[in-house]
Structure formats: structure tokens, C-alpha cells
Amino acid sequence: MKYLAPETKSSFMFPNFLPQTAVNLTESTSINLLQSLEQIAVATTLSQQEIATTYVRAGSGNTPILLLHGFDSSVLEFRHLLPFLAKNQEVWAVDLLGFGFTQRVAGLKFSAMDIKTHLYSFWQNLINQPVILVGASMGGAAAIDFTLTYPDIVEKLVLIDSAGLTGSSPVGKFLFPPFDYLATEFLRNPKVRQSISKAAYQDKSFASEDARLCAALHLEMPDWSQALVAFTKSGGYKAFRFKQLGNISKPTLILWGDSDNILGIKDAPRFRRAIPGSELCWIKNCGHVPHLEQPQVTAEKILNFLVGDSNKN
């Protein structure tokens, strides 16, 4: 696997831990986010080896926003949203354990528990103050799990087309021997990923070549397929019970694309009913990824929620 050499890094200002194909990105939001990427060695209780963890930090403000990406994704998922949020707030995005450009240390289960443990260590090392936790799709399930375990760390919770009521990804059943290798190769296929990308958008024009490259860049990182299989074997994120969701005591905003063809739209009102005092805002003319398809509207909803007026605009 080829990575950006130091001289390439100086030419394109990309971190040298990225795959060489990063130079093929063309949209300014993608390039700018990659140029801002950093890595820190995070010590955890999971392994004697520190985990090189990839993240981005931008903007300034009182309470930081922490963004958590979806299944088989990376911080690049927030390339459109982060600039809008960073105009008013300090914003962090991190590649969860087993995903994105964060190191996949051998021997880990890459379970939901491991992800939570690693995320806590990352927070403790770099942020270490209460956050506004924002999770998209599987990142929503991770955000719920983190909030239930560490309620003092989370000031407010935002769920964007969140997983957590229907359990793990349906592709998971194919990620077991003897189908695991074939399944990951299937997910690696550019045509398959483009099909998934198109399904995520209401406006299919967003499924551009740059978007395809963003969604596939992390697949070139070492041990991508092994970590994906391990995460699935661990059970991933199981569906939360209504009783569990009822224990969320933090102000919660649920954002949902009104044309979500990945998770559908039935879970949005179910989350609202299950989480006490939560608010549901529909993002109009939008699919599963409002933060990519309607980033300005999504940012406005989040920023207004922080000041207590999520229905504004």
C-alpha cells in the first residue's frame, strides 16, 4: 500500500498517513478537511500499544461539538457540515476505533464497548470538558451508548438519521466465515459503493466522483477488512430498548431526512417518543445524510438547538 511521501505531503499539504489516492480528490471541502487532519497516539485500557487516532479540530467557542461518523465511514463524512458549524463553535470530529484512518491495532475486538472505551480516552486526552455530541447513522448509536455511560460528559445530544432502534447493519450476516472475505471485497467494489452512495441521497447529483473517493479512501488503510469483520462478529450496535433510551436525561435533537431510503423514516418519531423531552426536526428534500446533502440547514438546526431554539429557520 502506498502512502503520501513526505515530499508529496509538502506539495499537497496532506498528512503522510493517508493513502496516495487522496491526491485525486477535487472538491475544496474534501481537500480542506484532509489538510486539517491530525493524529495522536491515544493510550487506552484496550491494549498496551497506543492507538494512532485521527481527528480534526476547527473553530472556537464555549462548549465543543464532537462529531461521530457512520458505519464504514470516516471524518470525511463531515466535510460539508464542519465548516458551517466551525463559524460559531469549536468542532471536533474523530475516526472511531476500527474505522476511518484511525489505527487498527491487532488483537482488538472492535466491539461497541471497545469503540466507547477508545472514544472516552480520546475525549479525556484532547477535549476533557463537556461536549455537544453529534452522531450520524451508526455514529448516532455510538453517541447514545456514550451518553448513557458518561452522562456528565455530554451536555446535549444530536442524532442525525440515527441507528440504534434496528440493530446492526443488514450486511453483517455476510461478514462471517466463509463469506467474510467475499463480503468485504463486495463492499470494496466501486460500483457497489456508488450504489450505496446514491441510495443515501435524495438528490443523486451529490453522489459525485469526489464523494465516491471520500467514501472509499479509508478502505486502503491497513487491516480495514479485518476490523470490519471483527466489529460485526462482536455484534456491533444492538438495538436499544425503549427503557434504555428513556434513561437519556440530556436535551436531545433528532434530525431526519424526510426521504431517507437507508433507514426509512419510521424510527424518527420512535426516537422522539422514547427519549424524554427530545425534539424532532425533519430535513426537507433530503435522504439519509443531511450533513452532506443539506449541510447549511443541518448546521443551523444544530446551532439553534444549542441556544434553545431548534425550530428557528
Which three-class secondary structure state does DSSP give residue 252? Answer: strand
CA 58, 149, 308 angle in degrees (round to 5)? 55
pLDDT in tens, 97-108: 999 999 999 999
Retrieve residue 44's grid coordinates: 487506552
CA separation for the pair 284, 70 (Å, rounded)? 21
Q: What is the pLDDT of residue 170?
A: 45
For residues 287 and 261, is the Cβ–Cβ distance under 8 A?
Answer: yes
Q: What is the pLDDT of residue 5?
A: 44
Kindly report whether the global pTM for this prediction surpasses the value 0.85. Answer: yes
pLDDT at residue 8 in the model: 41
Tell which residue, 122, 134, 40, 19, has the closest CA to residue 86. 134
Compute the half-sphere exposure of residue 248: CA atoms within 13 Å on the CB side of its CA.
30
The grid cell for 114 is 471497545
At 309, which helix (H) or strand (E)? none
pLDDT at 235: 86
**SS3 category, 67:** strand
Low-confidence ranges of the chain (pLDDT < 70): 1-12, 167-182, 309-313
Q: Give residue 52's pLDDT.
A: 98
pLDDT, position 177: 54
Structural domains of the chain in order of their starting residue, each with its CATH number: 20-306 (3.40.50.1820)
Q: How many residues does the chain have?
A: 313
Rounded Cα–Cα distance for residues 224 and 204 (Å): 27
pLDDT at site 311: 58
